[in-house]
Amino acid sequence: MRLLTVRTVLPEHRYDQRQITEAVAGTVRTDQRLLERLHSATQVSGRNLALPIEDYDRLTDFTAANDTYIATALELAERAVRKALDGAGLAPGDVDHLVFCSSTGVATPSLDAALAQRVGLREDIRRLPVFGLGCAAGAAGLSRIHDYLRAWPEQVAVLVCVELCSLTVQRDDASVANLVGSGLFGDGAAAVVAAGDRRRARVRRPDGPGRGPRVVATASRLYPGTSRLMGWNVGEHGFRIVLAADLVDHVKATLADDVAAFLQGHGLSPGEIASWVCHPGGPKVIETIAEAFGLDSGELDLTWESLRKAGNLSSVSVLNVLEETIARRPRPPGAPGLLMALGPGFSAEMALLRW
């Protein structure tokens, strides 16, 4: 499939990291020097939040937080889809398949049903809501629309990821995981429009400036016995973050071999990859990826930039890096690229790209 457009949308409420640190210090009882040190270590300069920062005081229970999630997620998702369709020169009625990924709120009917009606998608739209993949969902979502478009190459698919991480921060949790999360994760949405091989010729400007690469292969890796590394503890308090201190150790021990094996299966080595589209999980994760593959010449600059400007947007982040890569770092036709993200499970998702 060809990636036609990728568009990221952030909430309008923008704050620098110092403002957010001060707000967290006023609600979570903890050592302020520890909080400041943890927030500074994320290297995030500022983030966009679902609400004005003073309004978080009214989110006194999970119901209030989840109601806010539903309203805000729908608004951001609609904006992202409309921007992506406009960039692809397509109308809502052209879309055949919709994949919706999110792990920071819940709703039944799932939000993709309401989103389809707000955007004006057809009544026979095929929908796939995905919950629980966390940071890996942007890459996994690309894999799922790739699967679909291999079966239906004349069709168009849209992937939407929405995460409102700020709504999950726990006011009564002074754990290091919650403090790190309150300094690392941000809010946003992204949408991808993709077309199958038989549809591309019917889409305006398929090979014009800013065209996206093709997704030619995907892979998933699930690591048994590692569920404690990342996820949620779900209860009356809502979503309480699980973030193990030794997560990076697991990445160091496994990722390089798994990526090399995936690439070898397609006749490639890491040294031949021209574009590295990596999820900005955090400074230590990015540094581990750079060390594992010898990326010391700016290959991960856009990943670092996404982290610093917006924080870790969970499933949205890797799509934000993909959007910036298409716009600012296009490669010659045929050049290979690798997109990857890590998430709960613990798991890795990879996609081989060709420009």
**135 in catalytic set:** yes
Scored b (16 or more CB within 10 A) or e, 298-331 reads ebbebbbebbbbbbbbbbbbbbbbbbbbbeebbb
Out of 135, 161, 165, 278, the active site residue is 135
- Eight-class DSSP state of 238: E
Structure tokens at 294: 């010898």
Of 246, 203, 250, nearest to 223 by C-alpha is 250
In sequence order, the 6+-apart residues with CB closer than 8 A to the CB of 285 are 247, 248, 251, 342
Angstrom distance (rounded) from CA 276 to CA 335: 12
Which residues lie closer than 8 Å to 125 by C-beta, 6 or more apart? Answer: 95, 96, 97, 98, 116
Instruction: Tell me how crowded residue 10 is: count the other CB atoms within 10 A of its CB.
Output: 22
Q: Which helix (H) or strand (E) holds 326?
A: helix 315-328
Q: What is the DSSP annotation of 152-196?
A: STT-EEEEEEEEEGGGG--TT---HHHHHHHHHB-EEEEEEEEE-
Q: What is the DSSP string of 24-69?
A: HHTTS-S-HHHHHHHHHHTT--EEEESS-GGGGGG--SHHHHHHHH
Residue with the two structure tokens 């946003």 = 188
What are the residue numbers of the active site? 135
